[in-house]
Amino acid sequence: MVTRLSRHDLSLPAGVRAPSYDLRDVTVGIVHLGVGAFHRAHQAVYTDTVLAADPTWGISGFTQRSATVRDQLAPQDGLYTVLERGAGAAPPRVIGALREVRTQDEDGGPAARIADPRVRLVTLTVTEKGYRPDAPAVGRLVAGLELRRRADAGPISVLSCDNLTANGATLRGRVAEHCAGLPDGDRLLDWITASVAFPSCVVDRIVPATTAADRAVVMAALGMCDEGAVVAEPFSQWVIEDTFAAGRPAWDATFTTDVAPYEAAKLRLLNATHSLLAYTGALAGYDTIAAAMTDPVLADAARRLMTEDAAPTLTLPDGFDLPGYQDSILRRFADPALGHRTTQVASDGSLKLPIRLLGTARDRLSAGGTPQWTALAVAAWMVYVATRQPVDDPLAETLAAATAGRAKPADLVDSLLPVFPDDLGPSWRELLVEHTARLLHN
């Protein structure tokens, strides 16, 4: 029988990087909500790197919905492998930063942990859907902050690591709305205002869903089975607003006073182009983002979405190498080793598109421009939604009902435009109708 990765046998083969610290020295200083693959391949790796110097920042991770990740990681004492794939990939690395992995209902859930005075930071990767008013993450966070206030456990920071605009302020806003609905919410909100920081940050690393083939590669490298392995590209970036209320790990990240320029560049260049390739690629029959990038028409559209539509709307940080950034995005997308599926990136479009694409459309339209490539991306989403049901989206049923029987381009566009918060006007609608017509007749 093959042994399972655990702290009892960390004699890993040469060529696999193991934690450089003693797991027994690590105490929990961070509560993380949403221990999906992205957290494990991004924030947990940065944290793992600092634990040798400061073991007080171990992570207590909570799953959002299912118990799958808990069942993968708890038997492994939270240990798992990060397998880099693609040009310049480092050897597999076993991460020990996750010292606990629990479901929402175990041991008092995240609230009890957030009230622990040794915990000084809550991080979140709950995806775009996690910030919807009816999503449970914010309520769980608020319950934890209330327990912490009552326990007089001191200030704390809350760091959203999701691809939102102004993720720190957005989360603070959701927390305030939630408090407003509580009986003693004013008192809690006063405490939060005085004691809780909500820095913004920009996270960047492509992390495709782990496949059976990836697990087999990890097993061959470790000589042990790892049910919690994650796959990532070699590239990783984290830009963080340095306004923490109770200290922070000395992560190897970029700390700055204003993340907004980095955030707009990442969302409008990388994520927008990713979505364009996901929808146009899926419609053209490509399984992966890299396969879509082999199509010269789609690769050209991806480049022009960045250079013609998004770039003119950006105010970049000083010294930012825009051409280099755009080239590196296209190179990352084109790397066939990752196997990032178009359908994975295509999920949750109703929530992603306003954040990634509609700001660019609005800015270009109000500057008198014609955001062709942005319109192509949104039109491709519309055709995807109409032809690929059921789509993976919290609004799937609404989208299905809205588009039923809408075979004509103008009807399809009119059925889906109300899904988005803002009306961008008649010329935007016309652009969408043109692109939708072309895509439907292809």
Applying CB under 6 A, the residues found at the interface with ligand CS2 are: 163, 204-206, 271, 274, 344-345, 352
Choice between 48 and 204, CB closer to ligand CS2: 204
Write down the residue that tokens 């899926």 correspond to: 282
Which positions ≥6 away from 333 have C-beta within 8 Å? 273, 274, 277, 289, 290, 293, 302
Which positions ≥6 away from 195 have C-beta within 8 Å? 149, 154, 155, 156, 245
The distance of closest approach from Cβ of residue 214 to ligand CS2 in the complex, given in angstroms and rounded to an integer, is 16
The distance of closest approach from Cβ of residue 127 to ligand CS2 in the complex, given in angstroms and rounded to an integer, is 9
Choice between 6 and 344, CB closer to ligand CS2: 344
Strand spans (E) along 182-283 = 196-197, 201-204, 230-232, 237-241, 254-256
Choice between 189 and 206, CB closer to ligand CS2: 206
Amino acid (1-letter code) at residue 65: R
Ordered DSSP codes for 204-227? E---PPP-HHHHHHHHHHHSSB-T
CB 121 within 8 A of CB 159: yes
Q: Which residue is nearest to ligand CS2 (CB)?
A: 274
Which positions ≥6 away from 213 have C-beta within 8 Å? none
Q: Tokens in use for 49?
A: 């790197």
Q: Tokens in use for 442?
A: 């292809």
Strand 196-197 relative to strand 201-204, pairing = unpaired
The distance of closest approach from Cβ of residue 206 to ligand CS2 in the complex, given in angstroms and rounded to an integer, is 4
User: What's the number of CA atoms in the CB half-sphere (13 Å) around residue 416?
Assistant: 33
Choice between 197 and 355, CB closer to ligand CS2: 355
Choice between 179 and 269, CB closer to ligand CS2: 269
The distance of closest approach from Cβ of residue 165 to ligand CS2 in the complex, given in angstroms and rounded to an integer, is 13
User: What's the number of CA atoms in the CB half-sphere (13 Å) around residue 88?
Assistant: 7
The distance of closest approach from Cβ of residue 290 to ligand CS2 in the complex, given in angstroms and rounded to an integer, is 13
The distance of closest approach from Cβ of residue 179 to ligand CS2 in the complex, given in angstroms and rounded to an integer, is 29
Q: Around Cβ 420, how many Cβ atoms within 10 Å? A: 15
The distance of closest approach from Cβ of residue 227 to ligand CS2 in the complex, given in angstroms and rounded to an integer, is 22
Choice between 142 and 345, CB closer to ligand CS2: 345
The distance of closest approach from Cβ of residue 340 to ligand CS2 in the complex, given in angstroms and rounded to an integer, is 7
Choice between 47 and 271, CB closer to ligand CS2: 271
Choice between 149 and 332, CB closer to ligand CS2: 332
User: What's the number of CA atoms in the CB half-sphere (13 Å) around residue 177?
Assistant: 12
Is the bond leading into 390 cis (omega within 30 degrees of zero)? yes
